[in-house]
Structure 1
Amino acid sequence: MFLVSDKQPEQPSVPDDVWERFARDTERDIRTSAPKEPSARARMVTERLRQEEARGAQPEGWRAAPAWRETNGRAARRRRLWAIIGVPLAAAVAVVAMKPSLLPGDPFGMSSDGPTAAAALPDETAPPTAAPSSMAPDTPTLDRPFAGSPAERWADGAAGIVVPEAKPVGSLTRAQVATALRQTKTLLVDANLNPATLRGERPEAALGTLDPKQPKMLDDARSWLREPGKGHDPLSLFSRFDPEETRLVGDVVKTRGRMTFKAGEHASVAIHVDYTFVYPVAPADQSSDQASDGGSTEVTRTIVRRVLDLEVSDPTKYRVTPGKLAVARYDENLANSACAVYDGFLHPHFPSAAPTGAAPTGPTTDPYDRSRDIQHSGTCGTVSRT
């Protein structure tokens, strides 16, 4: 049994200012949360959207939630995929970073087995002021025939013979000067770079650039090739090796020099050329098969410097063949070739072979020094490097 008193408990008193604040707050909350009548513009937009939805047309981007969820799902799948791939990939990158040589083909050029890449020299536009600096001692090989040579940074073959931009000279037009410059390059390329010429064959293209109306020059050059000898040596104009004795290594001859022109006498354009050619060679009986079998791999270099002065005169004023070259001067310096041998071929000396020809008695010169004119001492000298 429970006893219930009929007397109510006394209510605690509340200050009047508290009741007033409570009443104000309550009225504000009710007013804020009470539903509002939409504006006329809002009613118009809502009605338009309702009508478009009834027709099946939705504004761009409307109800994009499913596509967003799909994109979000693809992103989640990509994150899971990268979680699977990323760890092994990161490990592989770390291994390659520590040892790049593991990559095939040495894409970063870091292999210690290959040569250090040498930056190519810019074209020679003026006489150098000094000989090239000494290179680190290195032995030329079949794979690197220019190792240890300043020529390793020179241009390859005909790319090193840069024809200057033609311009009118005297009574000769720009086109006539351009023809003379092209003929000059043809002469140099065929006489010093053509593989057939280097094998001892007739340099027909070079001979074709010479003016047949110039007294004796073309006839002399042809006779030198037919019957070489002292005083009429084809090496004065052409680079030639005896194919039974010497073979070129690879298909690159290094070239450096310059070609210039100016107005000459006899209403002509005077063309001056000064080029050095470096030929890597090996004994003719030394084949690549022998090298792969552990046989001899001896390689040496012969260096030829040529200086020529050529002229093309105005055919309306002189008895000349239009576009053909007249030779005013030819000079050469042959380095690493037997002395006093006049058979029309260069004869390189290989360190393992006994010397041929006369013993050198002249001064020692640097065949790479292009800062000085060609010097002739009247005797056969030695070279400081090849």
Structure 2
Amino acid sequence: MSDIDDIDERFKALTAQINERERKRMSKVAAQEWARHPRLRQRRRLRNTAIAVAVLVAAAGVFVVYRPDVVDRVRTTVSDRLSGPATGETTETAEPAETAREEPVEVSPFVGSPAQKYADGAKGLVMPRPRAMGGLNRKEVSAALGHARKLLMASHLDRKVLMGGRPEKLIRLLDPEQRAPFVKGLKKPDKKKGYYSREWVTSLAPKSAELVSETFKVHGRPRLSAFRENGLRGVRVKVNYLFVYAIRRPGRPDTLTRLVAHNIGTLDAWREGGRLRFWVTHWNGGGVAPARCDIDDGFVHPFYPDSAPDRKLTADGPAVDPYSLDEGTSEGCRVLKSDT
């Protein structure tokens, strides 16, 4: 066997050992996290839940991609052995060793989760086929469905808002009578209802996370129906969507986490004064996971593997699956299913 072949074999053995050690380490971390009771949070008024559980990706391929420090150590080992031509070999025969120094192929951070099969971004926001109902014609019903879709995009697919920015697009989409109190509630909670209007969007607390991928996964099912209430007649669009983001602590590749936002909401549309009016009756009522329960400022504070225990954990009630569109919205922080 040539020196180059020997180096190749040692390289494979080294990476196999590292992968095995890493799998054991991550399994240990995962076990410790489940012992600390990952939880689900229910937000006030909007009945928004947030599940605090670290999603650990233990696949070797993902490990190589998101552990550059280990890749660098392996590269250094190989580089030291290849600093000059091997004895008895020409420079040309050393070229195959370049393969060992190639960048690893990036693996999607959604691999291994239900989100892997979800659509990318707005492609997942497929609305029902419009038809005349509730006293509105087909074109007006189509406008209502389109408005609901725009609201979802502004709430969950606007990168600026996701990273803590002001939800300008959502503000413009709100009815004028809802707009002013919404803007006020971004900084100060409603005195009567005690909630921040920022809870209508998925907005990460400043400096709490960075995106691992610019791709956001989307899955859900909207429903369209007619309504007649309080002298009004029109259509009602009920949304039930999951939005999944790959995040990590800033500068910490080892804290890769999949954040799941569940928007359960309702938009009503009716004709008034010769124009079509849109009114959000409730929004973003399904929660976010993993997020802390004990910080209530309207922002999402991700819960990572190394996060301190949450002070508002409630272990009562059945375990919850954050990827289920059928989960209820009962109050409290609840334990998450361990097979998620």
In the superposition, the TM-score normalised over structure 1's length comes to 0.55
User: Equivalent residue of 2:255, what SS?
Assistant: coil
Q: Which residue is equivalent to 1:166? A: 130
**Is residue 154 from structure 1 mapped to residue 112 from structure 2 by the alignment?**
no
Deviation at 1:236, TM superposition (A): 3.1
User: Equivalent residue of 2:282, what SS?
Assistant: strand
**Is residue 368 from structure 1 mapped to residue 339 from structure 2 by the alignment?**
no
Q: Which residue is equivalent to 2:40? A: none
Deviation at 1:260, TM superposition (A): 2.0
User: Equivalent residue of 2:129, what SS?
Assistant: coil
Counterpart AA for 2:244:
V
RMSD after superposition: 2.6
Q: Which residue is equivalent to 1:225? A: 186
**Is residue 379 from structure 1 mapped to residue 332 from structure 2 by the alignment?**
yes
Are the counterparts in 1 of residues 186 and 198 from structure 2 also a CA contact under 8 Å? no
Deviation at 1:299, TM superposition (A): 0.2
**Is residue 256 from structure 1 mapped to residue 219 from structure 2 by the alignment?**
yes
Q: Which residue is equivalent to 1:191? A: 155
Counterpart CA distance in 1 for 2:324 and 2:158 is 24
**Is residue 301 from structure 1 mapped to residue 258 from structure 2 by the alignment?**
yes
Aligned length: 234
Q: Which residue is equivalent to 2:26? A: none
Counterpart AA for 2:222:
M
1:209-236, CA deviations, whole angstroms, 9 ceiling, x for partnerless residues? Answer: 22124xxx33332222122588213353
Counterpart AA for 1:240:
S
Counterpart CA distance in 2 for 1:166 and 1:338 is 39
Which runs of 5 or more residues in structure 2 are unaligned? 1-55, 67-106
Q: Which residue is equivalent to 1:56? A: none
Counterpart AA for 1:369:
S
Greater mean alpha carbon deviation, residues 354-363 or residues 149-158? 354-363
Q: Which residue is equivalent to 2:4? A: none
Deviation at 1:138, TM superposition (A): 4.4
1:73-120, CA deviations, whole angstroms, 9 ceiling, x for partnerless residues? Answer: xxxxxxxxxxxxxxxxxxxxxxxxxxxxxxxxxxxxxxxxxxxxxxxx
Cα distance change, pair 256–359 in 1 and its aligned pair in 2 (3 A): same
Q: Which residue is equivalent to 1:66? A: none
Q: 1:241 aligns with which of 204, 218, 224?
A: 204
Counterpart CA distance in 1 for 2:201 and 2:134 is 31
Percent identity over paired residues: 28
Deviation at 1:360, TM superposition (A): 4.1
Are the counterparts in 2 of residues 249 and 282 from structure 1 also a CA contact under 8 Å? yes
User: Equivalent residue of 1:314, what SS?
Assistant: strand
Q: Which residue is equivalent to 2:244? A: 278
User: Equivalent residue of 1:371, what SS?
Assistant: coil
Specify which structure has the bigger relative contact order, considering alpha-carbon pairs within 8 angstroms and separated by 6 or more residues.
2
Are the counterparts in 2 of residues 183 and 324 from structure 1 also a CA contact under 8 Å? no
Are the counterparts in 1 of residues 248 and 257 from structure 2 also a CA contact under 8 Å? yes
Q: Which residue is equivalent to 2:235? A: 269
Counterpart CA distance in 2 for 1:224 and 1:250 is 30
Counterpart AA for 1:370:
L
Instruction: Work out which of the two has the higher radius of gyration on C-alpha atoms and give 1 or 2.
Output: 1
Cα distance change, pair 208–324 in 1 and its aligned pair in 2 (3 A): farther
Counterpart CA distance in 2 for 1:371 and 1:260 is 14
Cα distance change, pair 282–358 in 1 and its aligned pair in 2 (3 A): same
Greater fraction strand? 2
Cα distance change, pair 306–382 in 1 and its aligned pair in 2 (3 A): same
Which runs of 5 or more residues in structure 1 are unaligned? 1-135, 287-295
Cα distance change, pair 240–362 in 1 and its aligned pair in 2 (3 A): farther
Cα distance change, pair 197–323 in 1 and its aligned pair in 2 (3 A): farther
